[in-house]
């Protein structure tokens, strides 16, 4: 199949309205020459370090998805490559709601945080950045089995039931990442943000489907290994984009390796520390098998009373799907079952939407059903089949026709009695009966709907086949909006901008290839004049001359080591960089 490359604007225009709000068009000119230098240092170091430990697909995947070691990737250039494998890429601002992230993934769209981590955060960034999102995730999309797994994960993940506590944790994580990324943030602000996340996490005592799936995502997409517990390669994006953990994870005495099974969802992870164990999948196809096994226990597959009870416990908007195809989206608050735990009646409270196959029914949006919706579920006495399966003529023959009074007595004991106004049909099925002057009572005589409440709309169906998180038609019933709090825009002093010019000159000389002594001398004089402690600037110059001027490189190297001698972390980075440069000479 031939795939056409589209611009970011064209891709965005083709999105559903509720997704467009989260997209951010990449401003490539906003990246500084030092941003590109940070990218280059990390990518070259990762390539050197991962040469033997990363899955072979990784290196090939970088090339085939438009990602170079030399500069931050352009989203447009990535899309030119991704189009060949049926995927796209779009930018976002940091963390986005998990359900939205998963929906993008289900559409084969890789969302990429646009920020580039700073020189002070080479080993760890508190927020998603373009290196992790592009180099970490995009490379494995060239593997058909992995790409299908990722899309399938998105389709399942976007429908996972999530709790109100999950939402509080997400908001706290996003807030903390933004605060830590902001150079103007005070220690007090960081402390308060950390405390907010701790409180939200402690209050999230129950494990929702979304939380359990997040664990599987962590142990596979982010921190997965492939092979077997004694012979494995790295494929998880979190490892592939981390100089520290991609090395430390290979130490089997420190990090236990377990065969990936559905049991992985029962093991929590801590984003603030290195993991004590990792999971190994046999293959990318095995990933899909484990995901399917996990999905079998989810409400979207199981349906029924147990799934509805789970949705009630989550206290968030979810969707109940009848076997007629009708979908009811709202916060489920009430469930009546019979002695065998079969669903007899369900009710939502507050804004509710009625839809069919993901499209809202005309006139049945959240404005019309602003106070909620309730309806019986099950078979009706005197009818051998589900009411949805009868033709209009068959219903008329049974005494049910629009404009006339009707009385429906359900096997459960629920009774619906009123004047039938209309029958909504889709795909030759009856999915919704609407009544006026209608009274609905339970088998115990409890009034479930009173005529004075207005029009009564009754869903048609004998069972709830699926219960899933979110609304059926999110374009008409959006649940998420972009956070008001945005990642802080970085500002640069005149000294910073002067430094960036030297970085840019370094890039230009590297691209020229043939280095003139005069150019190098002028560049070194510029660096000296800066009196800068910017170790990466000096390292870039050292790398440029390492194999051409032994005397000068020794001098630069000595100065570089002196700058970083009191910072253990940076000193180790420089030593690793020197090792790489030496190996290339």
**Structure confidence at residue 13 as a pLDDT band (50, 70, 90):** very high
- Secondary structure (3-state) at 166: helix
Q: Is the pLDDT of residue 525 over 70?
A: yes
**CA–CA distance, 305 with 344 (Å, rounded to integer):** 9
Q: What is the pLDDT of residues 209-253, one digit of tens each?
A: 999 999 999 999 999 999 999 999 999 999 998 888 899 999 999
Give the model's confidence band at 483: pLDDT under 50 very low, under 70 low, under 90 confident, else very high: confident
Q: What is the mean pLDDT of residues 262-276?
A: 87
At 38-79, the pLDDT tens digits run 999 999 999 999 999 999 999 999 999 999 999 999 999 999
Q: How far apart are CA 348 and CA 356, in angstroms?
A: 17
Query: 3-state SS string over 237-301?
Result: HHHHCCHHHHHHCCCCCCCEEEECCHHHHHCCCCCCCCCCEEEEECCHHHHHHHHHHHHCCCHHH
Q: Between residues 4 and 203, which one has the greater pLDDT?
A: 203
CA distance 137 to 296: 26
Tens-digit pLDDT profile for residues 456-481: 999 999 999 999 999 999 999 999 98
Query: With contact defined as beta carbons under 8 Å apart, do 90 and 99 qualify?
Result: no
Burial of 551: CB neighbours in 10 Å, binned 0-12, 13-18, 19+: exposed
pLDDT band of residue 524 (cuts 50, 70, 90) is: confident
Task: Round the CA-based radius of gyration of the chain to a whole number and report it.
Answer: 29
pLDDT tens across 91-106, in order? 999 899 999 999 999 9
In terms of Cα–Cα distance, which of 25, 189, 32 is closest to 91?
Answer: 25
Tell me what the mean pLDDT of segment 317-322 comes to: 98
Half-sphere exposure of 507 (CA within 13 A, CB side): 20
> What residue spans define the domains of the chain?
8-163+206-214, 303-469, 494-584
Q: What pLDDT does 3 receive? A: 61
Its pTM stands at 0.92
Is the model's pLDDT at 1 over the cut of 60? Answer: no
Q: How confident is the model at residue 549 (pLDDT cuts 50, 70, 90)?
A: low
Looking at residues 357-375, what average pLDDT do you find? 97
- What's the pLDDT score for residue 518? 74
Q: How much is the pLDDT for 514?
A: 62
d(CA 430, CA 313): 31
Distance CA 85, CA 79 (A): 10
Q: Are 238 and 245 in contact (CB under 8 A)?
A: yes
pLDDT mean across residues, the chain: 92
The CATH fold of domain 303-469: SH3 type barrels. (2.30.30)
- Mean pLDDT confidence for 317-344: 96
Contact call for residues 108 and 34 (beta carbons, < 8 A): no
DSSP 460: -
- Name the percent of the chain lying above pLDDT 90: 76
Q: What is the mean pLDDT of residues 134-159?
A: 95
Which of residues 529 and 579 earns the better pLDDT score? Answer: 579
Per-residue pLDDT tens for 387-424?
A: 999 999 999 999 999 999 999 999 999 999 999 999 99
- The predicted model gives 372-376 an average pLDDT of 98
> Residue 558 contacts by C-beta under 8 Å, 6 or more apart in sequence?
none
Was domain 8-163+206-214 assigned CATH 3.30.930.10? no
Task: Look at the block and give the residue holding tokens 């420089």.
Answer: 574
Alpha carbons 387 and 381: distance in angstroms, whole number: 11
Tell me the pLDDT tens digit for each residue of 284-298.
999 999 999 999 999
| Secondary structure in 3-state letters for 29-80 | HHCCHHHHHHHHHHHHHHHHHCCCCECCHHHHHHHHCCCCCCCCCCHHHHHH
Note the pLDDT tens digit of each residue in 104-133: 999 999 999 999 998 888 877 777 899 998
Residue 255, pLDDT score:
95
Indicate the helix (H) or strand (E) that contains 372: strand 372-376
């Amino acid at each position: 199949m031939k795939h056409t490359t589209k611009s970011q604007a064209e891709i965005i225009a083709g999105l559903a309205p509720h997704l467009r709000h989260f997209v951010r068009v990449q401003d490539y000119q906003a990246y500084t020459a030092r941003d590109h230098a940070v990218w280059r240092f990390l990518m070259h170091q990762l390539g050197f370090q991962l040469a033997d430990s990363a899955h072979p697909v990784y290196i090939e995947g970088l090339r085939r998805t438009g990602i170079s070691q030399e500069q931050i990737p352009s989203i447009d250039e990535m899309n030119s490559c991704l189009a060949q494998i049926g995927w796209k890429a779009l930018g976002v601002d940091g963390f986005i709601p998990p359900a939205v992230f998963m929906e993008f993934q289900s559409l084969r769209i890789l969302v990429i945080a646009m920020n580039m981590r700073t020189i002070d955060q080479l080993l760890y960034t508190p927020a998603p950045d373009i290196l992790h999102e592009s180099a970490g995730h995009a490379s494995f999309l060239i593997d058909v089995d992995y790409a299908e797994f990722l899309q399938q994960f998105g389709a399942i993940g976007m429908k996972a039931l999530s709790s109100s506590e999950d939402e509080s944790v997400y908001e706290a994580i996003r807030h903390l990442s933004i605060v830590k990324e902001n150079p103007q943030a005070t220690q007090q602000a960081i402390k308060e943000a950390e405390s907010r996340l701790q409180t939200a996490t402690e209050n999230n005592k129950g494990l929702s489907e979304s939380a359990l799936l997040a664990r599987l995502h962590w142990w596979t997409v982010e921190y997965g290994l492939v092979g077997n517990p004694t012979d494995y390669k790295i494929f998880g994006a979190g490892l592939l984009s981390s100089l520290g953990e991609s090395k430390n994870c290979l130490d089997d005495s420190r990090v236990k390796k377990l065969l990936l099974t559905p049991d992985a969802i029962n093991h929590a992870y801590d984003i603030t520390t290195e993991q004590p164990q990792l999971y190994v999948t046999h293959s990318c196809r095995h990933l899909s098998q484990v995901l399917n096994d996990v999905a079998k226990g989810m409400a979207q597959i199981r349906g029924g009373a147990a799934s509805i009870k789970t949705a009630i416990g989550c206290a968030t908007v979810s969707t109940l799907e009848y076997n007629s195809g009708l979908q009811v989206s709202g916060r489920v608050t009430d469930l009546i079952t019979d002695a065998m735990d079969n669903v007899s009646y369900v009710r939502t409270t507050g804004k509710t939407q009625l839809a069919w196959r993901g499209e809202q029914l005309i006139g049945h949006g959240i404005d019309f059903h602003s106070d909620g919706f309730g309806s019986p579920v099950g078979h009706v006495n005197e009818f051998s089949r589900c009411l949805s399966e009868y033709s209009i003529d068959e219903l008329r023959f049974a005494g049910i026709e629009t404009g006339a009074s009707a009385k429906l007595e359900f096997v459960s004991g629920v009774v619906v009695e009123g004047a039938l106004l209309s029958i909504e049909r889709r795909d030759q099925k009856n999915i919704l009966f609407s009544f006026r002057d209608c009274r609905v009572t339970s088998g115990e005589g409890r009034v479930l709907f009173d005529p004075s409440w207005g029009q009564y709309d009754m869903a048609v169906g004998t069972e709830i086949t699926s219960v899933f998180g979110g609304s059926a038609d999110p374009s008409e019933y959006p649940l998420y909006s972009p956070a008001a709090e945005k990642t802080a825009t970085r500002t640069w002093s005149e000294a910073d901008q002067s430094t960036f010019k030297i970085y840019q000159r370094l890039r230009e000389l590297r691209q020229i290839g043939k280095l003139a002594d005069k150019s190098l001398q002028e560049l070194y004089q510029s660096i000296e004049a800066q009196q800068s402690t910017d170790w990466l600037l000096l390292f870039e110059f050292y790398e440029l001359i390492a194999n051409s001027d032994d005397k000068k490189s020794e001098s630069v190297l000595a100065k570089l080591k002196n700058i970083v001698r009191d910072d253990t972390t940076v000193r180790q980075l420089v030593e690793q960089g020197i090792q790489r440069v030496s190996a290339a000479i």
